[in-house]
């Protein structure tokens, strides 16, 4: 007896309960956990990157990247609910499925593309800065980075317009014996609650989707173009630029090691920072920033490889002859793994920043000491107020004692003068 009767019917089906359970666990627990974790990490990134200390143009790009990654994760969160198979009310499920199809998934694709383009722009800037440092200083500025991000937002918005209006979804309801789950976009389930028709209770339900007729002739051209723009072209560009940056980091490491050895032989013990030490510190910060970018790009390349090999049209073209059932069976697990890898890519940049960028780490520590400092300032203010009050009281007491002593002193002098006058009068008599 099948644990989910809607997965089997009289015609037979290639769906299985084992695959269903793996998918449900992956979307319901793994993906939702990664989304929450990633949103928190990107909020921490924004709290640090928005500090005035990190005002260089690369940190402007990283701020836009953190915001795009956070919005991508937030847009993917409803997907884990829809595909997590936890709702048994057909109207509520269909409403959430509509929101996922028409709003959340297009937004996730849009912000994901923005994240990719910002990564490419930042890598390209780092490559030019390390190759032509004198010629590129004019446009390696935060204002230029903000303009580039604005252009990326507009460009990606234009490219993603068809995603918001190209798909349509409908309900499919039927009895277990005649229900065919093969074309369902969501996991079929037995309806337990219905607000429109009580006769639907006990029947199988799922959501089916299709491409709108007006967009159908252009569907393949559009999605293959987006595959080239979002995955293949960035993969090639980032791979080439990243290899160049890795070589430059190796050369810079050798130069830094030789310089430190030379300084140890010279024994420079000057306490005041010279121009050379300030310049060396700046170069070290630039080197750490480049290492951070290299780590981010390597993670992107790994996750992007999963995305390219999991493109539905490509998978269908490769497997339709020898493995015709793979697209409806094994590809579901492959797509789940790809989604998990993408979410991890949007979530773990915070750890790369902390591991490779000392300036980011120092700013992080200072940022989250503000609360303690404010408490310390308030307590010091209270201590200062109490000290001032006690000093005022002691001053007033001292002033009063001074007046009293003056009064006693003046009275004694008057008595003394009176006695002298009396003695003088007696002598005159």
- The pLDDT tens digits of the residues spanning 297-351 come to 999 999 888 888 888 878 888 888 888 778 777 788 888 899 999 999 999 999 9
Q: Does the pLDDT of residue 21 top 70, yes or no?
A: yes
Residue-by-residue DSSP string for 109-146: HHHHHHHHHHHHHHHHHHHHHHHSTTTTTTT-SHHHHH
pLDDT at 397: 58
Mean pLDDT is highest, among 238-242, 280-284, 415-419, for 238-242
Q: Is the pLDDT assigned to residue 15 strictly greater than 70? A: no
- Specify whether the CB–CB gap between 183 and 153 falls below 8 A: no
Ordered DSSP codes for 209-266: EEE-TTTGGGHHHHHHHHHIIIIIHHHHHHHHHHHHHHHHHHHHHHHHHHHHHHHHHH
* pLDDT score of 382 more than 50: no
pLDDT, the chain, mean:
79
Check residue 396 and give its pLDDT: 54
Q: How far apart are the C-alpha atoms of 105 and 99, rounded to whole Å?
A: 8
Q: How confident is the model at residue 279 (pLDDT cuts 50, 70, 90)?
A: low
More confident residue, 374 or 136: 136
pTM of the model: 0.77
Mean pLDDT of 263-281: 54
Report the pLDDT value the prediction gives residue 374, as an integer from 0 to 100.
39
Q: What is the per-residue pLDDT across 186-218, written as a single tens digit (0 to 9) for each?
A: 888 888 877 667 777 888 888 888 888 888 888
Mean pLDDT of 51-69: 92
388 pLDDT more than 70: no
Query: Is 84 or 427 the better-scoring residue by pLDDT?
Result: 84
Residue of 48 and 323 predicted with greater confidence = 48
Domains of the chain as residue ranges with CATH: 5-267+274-365 (1.20.1070.10)
What distance in Å separates the CA atoms of residue 120 and residue 272, rounded to the nearest whole number?
40
pLDDT at 255 over 80: no
If you average pLDDT over residues 54-63, what whole number do you get? Answer: 91
User: Of 1-5, 17-21, 122-126, which one has max mean pLDDT?
Assistant: 122-126
Q: Which residue has better confidence, 99 or 281?
A: 99
pLDDT for 221-251, tens place per residue? Answer: 898 899 899 989 999 999 998 888 888 777 7
Q: Are 236 and 230 in contact (CB under 8 A)?
A: no
Q: Using alpha carbons, select from 75, 67, 70 the residue that is nearest to residue 103.
A: 75
Judge whether residue 356 has pLDDT over 90.
no
- 296 or 7, higher pLDDT: 296
DSSP character string of 167-199:
EEEEEEEE-TTT---TTBSS--EE--B-SS-GG
Pairwise pLDDT comparison (135 vs 146), residue with the higher score:
146
- Cα of 222 vs its chain's centroid, Å: 29
**CB-hemisphere CA count at 13 Å for 320?**
6
């Amino acid at each position: 007896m099948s644990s989910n009767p809607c997965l089997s019917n009289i015609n037979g089906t290639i769906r299985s309960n084992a695959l269903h359970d793996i998918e449900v666990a992956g979307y319901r627990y793994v993906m939702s956990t990664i989304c929450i974790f990633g949103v928190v990490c990107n909020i921490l990134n924004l709290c640090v990157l928005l500090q005035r200390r990190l005002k260089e143009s690369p940190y402007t790009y990283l701020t836009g990247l953190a915001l795009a990654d956070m919005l991508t994760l937030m847009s993917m969160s409803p997907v884990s609910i829809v595909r997590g198979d936890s709702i048994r009310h057909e109207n509520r499920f269909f409403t959430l499925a509509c929101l996922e199809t028409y709003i959340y998934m297009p937004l996730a694709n849009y912000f994901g593309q923005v994240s990719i383009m910002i990564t490419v722009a930042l890598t390209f800037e780092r490559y030019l800065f390390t190759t032509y440092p004198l010629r590129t200083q004019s446009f390696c500025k935060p204002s230029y980075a903000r303009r580039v991000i604005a252009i990326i937002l507009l460009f990606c918005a234009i490219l993603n317009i068809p995603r918001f209006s190209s798909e349509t979804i409908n309900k499919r309801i039927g009895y277990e014996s005649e229900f065919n789950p093969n074309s369902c976009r969501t996991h079929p389930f037995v309806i337990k609650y219905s607000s429109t028709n009580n006769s639907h209770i006990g029947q199988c339900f799922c959501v089916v989707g299709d491409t709108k007729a007006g967009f159908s002739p252009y569907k393949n051209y559009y999605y293959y173009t987006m595959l080239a723009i979002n995955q293949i072209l960035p993969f090639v560009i980032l791979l080439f630029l990243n290899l160049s940056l890795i070589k430059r980091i190796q050369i810079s490491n050798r130069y830094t090691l030789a310089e430190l050895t030379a300084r140890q032989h010279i024994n420079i013990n000057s306490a005041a920072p010279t121009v050379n030490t300030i310049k060396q510190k700046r170069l070290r910060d630039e080197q750490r920033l480049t290492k951070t970018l290299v780590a981010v790009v390597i993670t992107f390349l790994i996750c992007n490889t999963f995305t390219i090999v999991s493109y539905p049209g490509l998978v269908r073209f490769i497997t339709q002859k020898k493995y015709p059932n793979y697209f409806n069976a094994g590809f579901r697990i492959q797509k789940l793994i790809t989604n998990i890898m993408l979410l991890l890519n949007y979530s773990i940049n915070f750890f790369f920043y902390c591991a490779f960028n000392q300036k980011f780490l120092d700013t992080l520590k200072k940022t989250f000491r503000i609360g303690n400092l404010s408490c310390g300032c308030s307590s010091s203010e209270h201590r200062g107020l109490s000290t001032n009050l006690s000093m005022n009281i002691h001053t007033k007491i001292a002033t009063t004692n001074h007046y009293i002593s003056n009064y006693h002193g003046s009275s004694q002098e008057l008595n003394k003068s009176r006695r002298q006058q009396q003695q003088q009068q007696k002598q005159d008599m």
